[in-house]
Amino acid sequence: MKIEIVSIGYKIVHHWNLILFTILALTGSVLFSIELMGWLAYAVGAPLSAVLGVDPLTAGVQLVRTSHRFIGFVWGALLTVYGLYLLVFRRVEVFKPLKKPIGQQIREAKAIAAHYMLGRPMPKDIEESLDRHNILVSYMALLLFISIVLFGISGVGLVFRDSLGLSSATAGVLLLLHDVAFALGLLFVAMHLFAVTHPSNRPLLNAMFGDGTIELEWAKKHMPKFLSRRGVR
The pLDDT, as a whole number, for residue 57 is: 92
The pLDDT, as a whole number, for residue 104 is: 95
Spatial separation of the C-alpha atoms in residues 46 and 41, rounded to whole Å: 8
The pLDDT, as a whole number, for residue 218 is: 93
107 and 80 housed in the same domain:
no
The pLDDT, as a whole number, for residue 1 is: 87
34 and 130 housed in the same domain:
no
The pLDDT, as a whole number, for residue 49 is: 86
Q: Which domain holds residue 36?
A: 1-92
The pLDDT, as a whole number, for residue 132 is: 92
How many C-beta atoms surround the C-beta of residue 117 within 10 A? 10
184 and 100 housed in the same domain:
yes
The pLDDT, as a whole number, for residue 215 is: 94
Reported as a single tens digit per residue, the pLDDT across 19-37 is 999 999 999 999 999 889 9
CA angle 28, 33, 36 (to 5 degrees): 115
The pLDDT, as a whole number, for residue 183 is: 95
- Measure CA of the first residue to CA of the last residue in the chain; give whole Å: 12
201 and 214 housed in the same domain:
yes
13 and 74 housed in the same domain:
yes
Q: Among 44, 73, 92, give the residue marking a domain's end.
A: 92
Inter-helix orientation angle 8-32/34-52, to 10°: 90
Q: Among 34, 61, 92, give the residue marking a domain's end.
A: 92
The pLDDT, as a whole number, for residue 96 is: 92
76 and 27 housed in the same domain:
yes
The pLDDT, as a whole number, for residue 230 is: 83
| Counted domains in the chain | 2
Cα 107 to the chain's mean position, in Å? 25
105 and 213 housed in the same domain:
yes
Give the chain's residues under pLDDT 70. Answer: none
Q: What is the pTM of this model?
A: 0.91
